[in-house]
Amino acid sequence: MTNLKEETQFGWNFENSYSLLPKSFYSCQNPIPVTSPELIILNSPLATSLGLNIEELKSKDGEAGLAGNLVPEGALPLAQAYAGHQFGHFTMLGDGRAILLGEQMTPSGERFDIQLKGSGQTPFSRGGDGRAALGPMLREYIISEAMYALGIPTTRSLAVVKTGEPVIREMVLPGAILTRVAASHLRVGTFEYAAKWGSKDELRALADYALQRHFPNIEDDENCYLSLLKQVIKRQAELIAKWQLFGFIHGVMNTDNMTISGETIDFGPCAFMDEYDENTVFSSIDTQGRYAYGNQPHIAAWNLARLAETLLPILDDNQDQAVQLAQEALLDFNKLFNRNLLTGMRAKLGLFNEEEGDVLLIGDLLSIMQKYHADYTNTFRALTFDNPTDTVLFGTQEFKEWYQKWQSRLSGQQETKCSALELMRNSNPAVIPRNHRVEAALEAAVKNEDYHVMERFLDILKEPFAYSQEQEEFTSMPEPSGIPYRTFCGT
């Protein structure tokens, strides 16, 4: 494999700070070349922000670089080691089909991981082929970019390249590689790996690296590792609240899928909810509902407890004191999550100030929505338009009484009704990546090699709060079906 020598031609500007960690945290590994790389989609705005040359990335050499056939100058490809609790069961994992090329330093001085997903077998593949199918990679592109537009912290997608090679799952599918951009790929599972198989010094090295990478302002705190735990708890509380506010269901909230940075990562069986139901599960493998919509805050707290356990040896030399510090920090999650959720829900209802009855007002609306199978996004959209007749709730006695209480609550504010509706408009998306629309885009792309459906869909999703006429056709729910919608991991 040759290197892409003219670094400045493409704009790559790599550093490799992760490789300075102890060798046990990674395995040096080049991507495995593919037969016929073909660029399917390139995220031009993201490429520009990263300092990359769009036209060069579209060239044959650019395609080869995004497929892993050529390694950019300055990159140091490696597969990261980590562990994880998967559906509650602990296991050794690692990048089984992904290669970290390095960290792109942007013109503004920011640092982002550049990872190729589907780039071939690694020492962590556990018997897998190390490849990815086109459909799941396009799904990650669509969902991650939609989440970015919604303001949800997330990893992003730079490009998808077809490999020209088949992958075999339940059927033969076209292969693809996704270029993922992340603040980092440090996970709760990375710390679990260090705690289980590393020394105390290696655990401390990982924690120091996480501090340098994401929380440099707390490196000098008296107990910087306790501060690290608190910051991760804070970021995850903010993230999960955002998921709940927009009806996002991750589907596989294993500890290896919870980042230290607070970004959403891995989009296999994820989906957005249509009808509001706390028990909603889309993932085909989540048969017990462990990762249902309503369970996500509880699972986040459970995952964070696993992180706290890994940090005990460096929180305090006295184990009892370390446990007490960790427990006290973990108590903050529910408080922070509920505060973020309540603030967001108030905004969705146009409420600027806080009143004691708000929790009941919000809870009553959600209960009515669940009872009458109301669409989550479109209910808030109808309220934003102040057009309650557009929701299935209209005409029910429960909603009539709730609506009167809500109007009374709005009229008691100092802010005008117009200001309240503007707040709602900025908090309630007109469009989300609805499942039937995602499937339509993927079917056109994978089966017919027609990418126009996906491109138009992505264009609509770029401005979810625009409430434009072009978005109208993308706001409708799917046709009723007796078959529940299911998503799959894609591995």
Helices 397-411 and 417-425 sit at what angle, rounded to 10 degrees? 110
Q: Concatenated DSSP letters for 244-290?
A: HHHTEE-S---GGG-BSS--B---SS-EE-SB--TT---BTT-TT-T
Look up tokens 């929790």; give the residue.
Answer: 359
CB-CB contact of 70 with 64 (8 Å): yes
Task: For residue 71, give every residue at least 6 positions away whose Cβ sits within 8 Å of its Cβ, in sequence order, or none.
Answer: 1, 2, 3, 4, 30, 31, 65, 77, 101
Question: Is position 256 annotated as part of the catalytic site?
Answer: yes
> Within 10 Å of residue 34's Cβ, how many Cβ atoms?
23
Which of these, 84, 73, 129, 120, lies nearest to 99 by C-alpha position?
Answer: 120
Catalytic residue among 95, 113, 220, 256: 256
Q: Are strands 89-92 and 83-86 parallel, antiparallel or unpaired?
A: antiparallel
Distance CA 376, CA 232 (A): 29
Distance CA 362, CA 402 (A): 10
Tokens for 139, please give them: 């799904």
What is the set of active-site residues?
Answer: 256
